Amino acid sequence: MKFFYLVAATLIAGSLSLFITRALDWPYWSYFAVCCALGLVTYVVSVLVMGSYVERRAPEFANRDEILPGIQSWELTAGTGVVPKWVSYIGILSVGFFLAIPFELLASLFR
């Protein structure tokens, strides 16, 4: 199911970036700049909101201390419902923006 979300996010991200580029009548290369910019913005928003939810709902895990070798304490909140799913979808959308770039490059080779 997560693969479906990732594919859908990639299609949405690519379409949104292409729509913005064409609506503003920017050159074709700016599509890649828009994808990168929106991907970075959605990634940063996802990380900030995730950190906010962990600090608010599980303050004892809101640090970077290693509980086990290579595992920080905040990582133990995964799958426990501390962070809502919509925050994860924002993170998946950021990956979609970065995956839309090679797919558009590949599509441009066949035009």
At 13-41, the pLDDT tens digits run 888 888 888 899 988 888 888 889 989 99
Give 97-102 contacts, CB < 8 A, sequence gap 24+.
97/13, 97/17, 97/35, 97/36, 97/38, 97/39, 97/42, 98/35, 98/36, 98/39, 99/6, 99/10, 99/13, 100/10, 100/11, 100/13, 100/14, 100/17, 100/35, 101/32, 101/35, 101/36
Total domains in the fold of the chain = 1
Written as six digits, the tokens of 20 are 């913005």
Q: In 3D, which of 90, 84, 92 has the Cα closest to residue 5? A: 92
pLDDT in tens, 53-92: 878 877 766 666 667 677 776 666 666 767 788 888 888 8
pTM (2 d.p.): 0.76
1 — pLDDT class (breaks 50, 70, 90): low
pLDDT at 75: 66
Domain of 16 in residue numbering reads as 2-109
